Structure 1
Amino acid sequence: MDFEKVGTCIIINNKNFDRSTGRGPRNGTDRDAEALLKCFRNLGFDVTVHNDCSRAKMEAVLKEVSEQDHKNSACFTCILLSHGKEEGLIYGTDGLTSIKELAAHFRGDRCKTLVEKPKLFFIQACQETELDNSIQADSGFVNETDAQQHYKVPVEADFLFAYSTAPGCYSWQSPGTGSWFIQSLCDVLNEHGKSLDLIKILTRVNLRMARNFQSRTDDPDMSKQQIPSIASMLTKLLYFRK
């Protein structure tokens, strides 16, 4: 993380939804947004919160950030707080949109100043393949025979997606205290964010979720526990700087 800045953190906090979506308000999400704002600022990020974003607004916010110059930043983080449906889809205030399409603005062939830098997506929401192209890296692979030889980096490299729950499962949230996942994430980051690498941090979040949380529900068909899932394409261990 030895860059001038740690990087930008965008939080999209969707609480209220159009009647046409059939989705009610996400009471408790403001607790999550507040905890995340403090946590990621403490890690050194420049944090911006966008509340109640439509599909078009979510797209516009992330596209604008992807077109900025990140050459002096070590990484990028996006946190999506919203209703979800099936795997890979999340609600704007006016309907569903694709997480993959939102993240695609930061692919190596579209956002050149974040090539070989971590692009982190944390998704708090309830919960399919494409061939990967390559993009030329700025830095060269140095060996004894050819110090100028270059290597290619897959455009999907260095992404990490941390989902609040496993595919096909429910994601629990308390109106009074916020979501299990985000509150656990902030607690572990506040305690270990400047000492452990990110995968170890997220593994501790999984452990905390597995051991410490159980829902209260009278519906026997609903899972009463929750385990997050991690999809990592990172190519290096990620430590936030002390």
Structure 2
Amino acid sequence: MSENLENGDSADMGENEQRPNGGGDEGDAWGNQGSSVRRFARMPVDRNAPYYNMSHKQRGMAVIFNHEHFDIHSLKPRTGTHVDCDNLAKVLKNLGFRVTVLNNLKAKDVNKYIQQTAEMDHSDYDCLLIAVLTHGEMGLLYAKDTHYKPDNLWYYFTADKCPSLAGKPKMFFIQACQGDKLDGGITLSNRTETDGCPSSTYRIPIHADFLIVFSTVPGFYSWRNTTRGSWFMQALCEELRFYGAERDILTLLTFVCQKVALDFESNTPDTQAMHQQKQVPCITSMLTRLLVFGKK
């Protein structure tokens, strides 16, 4: 059966009585149905717990793929990315992460490291965090030698492929352009112009518990200061530094968005088309609980 049996529920109930919505569920798709094999993983937290379990022996791995130099002639060096990388590594270490920085890897090496990380045993870890600092365009990120799709980063970490991270938060922070569109912003005014036995097991989708944050929205430019680093990483590091152990991650990221949106504006007076442009990060959350790092 697909539903748990509790409080004397009969195993021979009709399908309509099993489902709270009544009737049967169908997928809005046509074609292959995929695998129906049941897989099991250790439950890291009770079924209805409101918070993720952040009391494992260790916080977890944080991997930073930092790209400054490229073999592709059309891609300029990302001056200032070392500032982002250093700041992010420092705040993540302070939050208890085991941080690894990898500089200027080729695409095959990025993919190899991702696979090796997914094959590790993360049972004693709270979570996983991966950050990528690089050039990008719509639907693509750049390694030293060529581009790859962003979903390569999280493909190997779904619950079926990496069961030791099942039910645990997996975070991806991507500092990269997603296109060449510019956001000129708008001025607001106050003036108006016109586990096992049925009672202790539950199933989750393999794509649950992911958090993916891009520095900008699809199709748009992402700004980086050559001295202070990218707008997104400046704001993210500041929020993590002061509130990383206190605020839940989505609240924290809301204020990251606020900082980027309100506190930054491009300063390129010699190129008027690029001058006084704005930016806002883009958050995709499949988190199923509140994530608060807490003290480690």
Verify same fold: TM over 0.5: yes
Gaps of 5+ in 2: 1-53, 179-194
Partner residue in 2 for 1:64: 116
Matched, 1:31 2:87: no
Identity of aligned residues (%): 40
Residues 2-45 of structure 1, C-alpha deviations (whole Å, 9 max, x = no match): 1101100000001000035x211000000000001100000000
| Structure having the larger proportion of residues in strand | 1
Residues 155-188 of structure 1, C-alpha deviations (whole Å, 9 max, x = no match): 1110000110011110000111110000110001
* CA deviation after TM superposition for structure 1 residue 99, in Å: 1.0
* CA deviation after TM superposition for structure 1 residue 221, in Å: 6.4
Matched, 1:236 2:289: yes
* CA deviation after TM superposition for structure 1 residue 57, in Å: 0.9
Whole-Å separation in 1 of the counterparts to 2:155 and 2:129: 13
CA contact (8 A) 1:78 1:122 kept: yes
Partner residue in 2 for 1:169: 220
Partner residue in 1 for 2:251: 200
Whole-Å separation in 1 of the counterparts to 2:284 and 2:210: 8
* CA deviation after TM superposition for structure 1 residue 95, in Å: 1.1
CA contact (8 A) 1:126 1:170 kept: yes
Whole-Å separation in 2 of the counterparts to 1:221 and 1:80: 24
Q: Please tell me the residue identity of whatever aligns with 1:158.
A: D
Gaps of 5+ in 1: 128-138
Partner residue in 2 for 1:96: 147
Q: Please tell me the residue identity of whatever aligns with 1:189.
A: L
User: How many residues in Structure 1 have an aligned counterpart in Structure 2?
Assistant: 224
* Equivalent position to 1:78, from 130, 149, 167: 130
Whole-Å separation in 2 of the counterparts to 1:203 and 1:195: 14
Q: Please tell me the residue identity of whatever aligns with 1:76.
A: L
**Any idea what SS the aligned residue of 2:168 has?**
coil
* CA deviation after TM superposition for structure 1 residue 153, in Å: 1.1
Whole-Å separation in 1 of the counterparts to 2:66 and 2:255: 24
* CA deviation after TM superposition for structure 1 residue 223, in Å: 7.3
CA change 1:223–1:153 in 2 (3 A) is: farther
Residues 116-138 of structure 1, C-alpha deviations (whole Å, 9 max, x = no match): 000000000001xxxxxxxxxxx
Alignment TM-score, normalising by the size of structure 1: 0.89
Partner residue in 1 for 2:55: 2
Whole-Å separation in 2 of the counterparts to 1:58 and 1:222: 34
CA contact (8 A) 1:169 1:223 kept: no
**Any idea what SS the aligned residue of 1:153 has?**
coil
Alignment TM-score, normalising by the size of structure 2: 0.73
Residues 180-222 of structure 1, C-alpha deviations (whole Å, 9 max, x = no match): 0001100011011011000000000011111100002324367
Matched, 1:48 2:100: yes
Q: CA RMSD in A?
A: 1.4
Whole-Å separation in 1 of the counterparts to 2:90 and 2:254: 22
Whole-Å separation in 2 of the counterparts to 1:106 and 1:222: 40
Residues 71-110 of structure 1, C-alpha deviations (whole Å, 9 max, x = no match): 0001000000000011x31001111101112210111111
